[in-house]
Structure 1
Amino acid sequence: MISQSFEIIGKIQSTIGVENIHVINQASQQFTISDKNGVFKISAKLLDTLTFSSVQHKLKTVVVDRNIQSFKTILVTLQENVIELDEILVGKVLTGDLNLDVGNVKKNTSVNFYDVGIPGYKGKIATPSERRLNEATSGGGFGGVSLNSIINGLSGRTKMLKNRVNIDKREALLQSVKARLSKDFFASNPLENDLKNDFFYFCADDENFIKFCKNQTDFKILIFLRMKYRQYINNRSQKKD
């Protein structure tokens, strides 16, 4: 009975949202994500440990007991992960002493172009690498092609700048994935703290990193991270041997 696997249909309760909660079976390393109603399905065996996590909730673990095994259902209530912030002082403190208060008042307030009715650029702000690439490839010469862009193309500078733009995009995506999924991923895939950054850069070096992580659901990204985790652990084991 203990070794037999069965499917559990579960439902998550929370006051701050129940969609995209990560559910991981620690024993089998299987995982899934709850839908918009907090419902999920996952395979388990008696005495397996299920972990429930998300950025907004406190980590919770549930051991599959005989009651869950009998009914094949589970109801899990998650608590909000409240982050306490230090007290913030809003505004300036006035003492009544004119000499002191004048020094506490902010001067030379900058004027935003929206305040004076001047239309401004509302699009995406280019990175320094993107601006340099645009300058190196901008037209304006004969047939719409500038002499500057021809020289940069022949010298290899354009290719170098394109590579730098791609590196910047890969780095930005890496930091986004790391910020969103690091806590939940390492809850079920333990790694020493000094190796966690190295692991994420190991993932980013994969030629399919952008394909599997850009504009993808957390579920698909976690599948990719799990695959790279196994490779990473295997590589470290071979180095030790």
Structure 2
Amino acid sequence: MPIIQKFIVLSFILSSFLSFSQVVEISGVVNSLVEVENIHVLNKAEQDFTITNAKGEFKIKAKLNDTIRFSSLVHQSKYVIVDKNIMLFKAMRVMLEEQVNELDEVVVGKVLTGNLFLDINSVDSKAPINFFDVGIPGYTGRIKTQSERRLSQASDLNPTAGGSLGGLGGSVSGDALINAITGRTKMLKKRVAHEESEALMRNIKARLAADFFRSNPLEEEFRMEFLYFCADDPNFVKRCKNQTDFNILLFLRSKYQDYMRNRSETKN
């Protein structure tokens, strides 16, 4: 190999090494089913600290192999190691799980011995009374999520004897009107839609991801990013909810081609 070619190769290797060893500013975004504002982002190695904004966005200084910690009162702490891909794109996307505080175990009533006959004789219990027993109507459908209940309360339409709303014979409650004006109802609708999309995406991941990635190879560290890329599609719920696995895989395949094309364009 001519000397000049060796010099070029050596220069390229040296510049790549120096670029990865340097401290760069990384732009990132945090995703979560709960609030994404004011999440603590800490890089102890560089003594750099910041918090996320209302959209979950942040910027922090880091170099290759630094460990960045994400924490808040409502999230489980998460540690992300800065790898070559993060350094190359100077960007990251982090999904945080909600913190669930478990209560200490409490024993209520009599302690069972494990002997079936003794326990049956020692336990005094009555069958619970439900609405069928007392002859009143009751709800037997799917239990709403917390966000769905909040949305229902925020946009409540209260019927009144003399009130009217466009001839419907009802009036919107004061709270519902305030929620509509302040944008809270719109925010809750977006949250319900986001939770539906998130639950659908995780269901698809559990059922189909392993088979899909066998025929559509993708590095392990990019698979969740790809699935969120699919979930961000405006037609994701329409194309995947209550659809056959075949139709869902067709949708994933089309998004896979878009995702790989975007990655290729970003690298170039």
The TM-score, its normalising length taken from structure 1, stands at 0.51
Deviation at 1:187, TM superposition (A): 1.1
Q: Which amino acid aligns with 1:131?
A: R
1:218/1:94 CA distance change after superposition, 3 Å: closer
Report what 1:157 is aligned to.
184
Please report the RMSD computed on the Cα atoms of aligned residues, expressed in angstroms.
3.0
Looking at structure 2, the residues matched to 108 and 198 of structure 1 have their Cα atoms a distance apart, in angstroms, of 54
User: Larger relative contact order (C-alpha < 8 A, sep ≥ 6)?
Assistant: 1
Deviation at 1:121, TM superposition (A): 3.8
Looking at structure 2, the residues matched to 170 and 111 of structure 1 have their Cα atoms a distance apart, in angstroms, of 39
Looking at structure 2, the residues matched to 93 and 190 of structure 1 have their Cα atoms a distance apart, in angstroms, of 54
Alignment partner of 2:152 out of 118, 130, 134:
134
Report what 1:238 is aligned to.
265
Alignment partner of 1:125 out of 134, 140, 143:
143
CA deviations on 1:21-49 (whole Å, 9 max, x unpaired) are xxxxxxxxxxxxxxxxxxxxxxxxxxxxx
CA deviations on 1:165-191 (whole Å, 9 max, x unpaired) are 111111111111111111110111111
1:117/1:162 CA distance change after superposition, 3 Å: same
Looking at structure 2, the residues matched to 161 and 134 of structure 1 have their Cα atoms a distance apart, in angstroms, of 9
The TM-score, its normalising length taken from structure 2, stands at 0.46
CA deviations on 1:185-236 (whole Å, 9 max, x unpaired) are 0111111111111110000111111121111111111111011111111111
1:181/1:138 CA distance change after superposition, 3 Å: same
Deviation at 1:122, TM superposition (A): 2.5
Deviation at 1:133, TM superposition (A): 0.5
Partner SS state of residue 255, structure 2 = helix
Superposition map of 1:216-227 within 5 A: 216-227=243-254
Looking at structure 2, the residues matched to 187 and 110 of structure 1 have their Cα atoms a distance apart, in angstroms, of 54
Q: Which amino acid aligns with 1:168?
A: E
Alignment partner of 1:172 out of 196, 199, 209:
199
Identity %: 50
Moved over 3 A (4+): 92-95, 107-114, 116-121
Report what 1:201 is aligned to.
228
Looking at structure 2, the residues matched to 94 and 165 of structure 1 have their Cα atoms a distance apart, in angstroms, of 44
1:113/1:229 CA distance change after superposition, 3 Å: farther
Deviation at 1:113, TM superposition (A): 5.0
Report what 2:213 is aligned to.
186
Partner SS state of residue 191, structure 1 = coil
Q: Which amino acid aligns with 1:127?
A: T
CA deviations on 1:150-172 (whole Å, 9 max, x unpaired) are 11111111111111111111111
Partner SS state of residue 226, structure 1 = helix
Deviation at 1:139, TM superposition (A): 2.1
